[in-house]
Structure 1
Amino acid sequence: MTNKIKFFLPILGLMALIGCKTAQLGSPSIQTGLFKVTILYPNGEGSTFDMDYYETKHMPMVAGFLGDNLKFYEIDKGISGRTPNDKPPYAAVGYFYINNIEEYGKAIAENRDAVINDFKNYTNIQPVVQISEIRQVVHPAKN
């Protein structure tokens, strides 16, 4: 019996470590009480958008300004509209999930020039911004 325990104990330990790492790979938890800042870049005739710059420079820069108020951020690249053949209505959409709207406003106001002056490095699109309160999060049961 002791030999079986000695054999299975390291296996169980390894499984626990793998399970913890796998849980970390999932998306951060979205929860009620958070606020979401959505930055939409409408697609249009003659619009340009450098997704690589946005992902590697602009969003990390703004995230740095937000500090501990930022829970996480996401970036979407538009690939189509309602049907696969339709042009996407937005070239890109960025999201910042934050704890406090006032802290967000203060951080952006203090760094407004840096944020706005960086637009020319990745787009000619005037973004549309919406701030939302997350009111409900539903995770459907999986069979």
Structure 2
Amino acid sequence: MKGTLIASLLFLTAFSAAFSQAKQPRQSAESNPVVVEKGLIKVSIMYPYAEGKTFNMEYYETKHMPMVAGFLGSNLVKYTIEKGLASGIPNQPLPFMAIGTFYVKNISDYQAAIGPNRDAIRADFPNYTNTTPVILVSEVVK
């Protein structure tokens, strides 16, 4: 009886520890330590997929996004680049080929930085895509 009780306690302790670890978010060596905080402005630049549309991810990652990030200066908290893989609905076309996202502290400073550089940003589009992006500006709430 005493052996069964000890075995049960050991099992519960191991189960509790495993459950606790499973609930923790996983960190990889590549994860970015910058936390996206409530109140930041998120600018999402989404490139819709359509037949005949192209996207050069290497150019976007190494040239275009760093160029725009440079315009944003100290207002920029971080930026991310996502490559579209599939639709959330099986057997449906990919909605976006790629999404670039800038997290900034202040929308007015973002607009002041982008405004004078808008022509340079747009002139760079043909270097990596032949589609027109959809842009969403939002506020991080959680």
Determine the structure 1 residue equivalent to 2:88. 82
What value does the CA root-mean-square deviation take over the aligned residues? 1.7
Deviations 1:20-56, CA, capped at 9 Å, x for gaps: xx89853220110111000000000110100000000
Aligned residues: 115
In the alignment, the residues of structure 1 paired with residue 133 and residue 98 of structure 2 have an alpha-carbon distance, to the nearest angstrom, of 10
Q: Which runs of 5+ in 2 are unaligned?
A: 1-26
TM-score (norm: length of structure 1): 0.75
Q: 5 Å matches for 1:1-143? A: 25-27=30-32, 28-83=34-89, 85-136=91-142
Deviation at 1:82, TM superposition (A): 1.9
Larger Rg: 2
Which residue in 2 is equivalent to 1:18? Answer: none
The match for 2:6 is: none
DSSP 3-state at the match of 1:41: strand
Q: Which runs of 5+ in 1 are unaligned?
A: 1-21, 137-143
8 Å CA contact 1:71, 1:99 repeated in 2: yes
Report the AA paired with residue 73 of structure 2.
Answer: G
Question: The residue matched to 2:102 in structure 1 has which SS?
Answer: strand
Question: Aligned AA for 1:26?
Answer: S
Q: Matched residues in 2 for 1:81 and 1:73: separation?
A: 23
For residue 88 of structure 1, give the secondary structure of its aligned residue in structure 2: coil
CA distance in 1, matches of 2:73, 2:29: 21
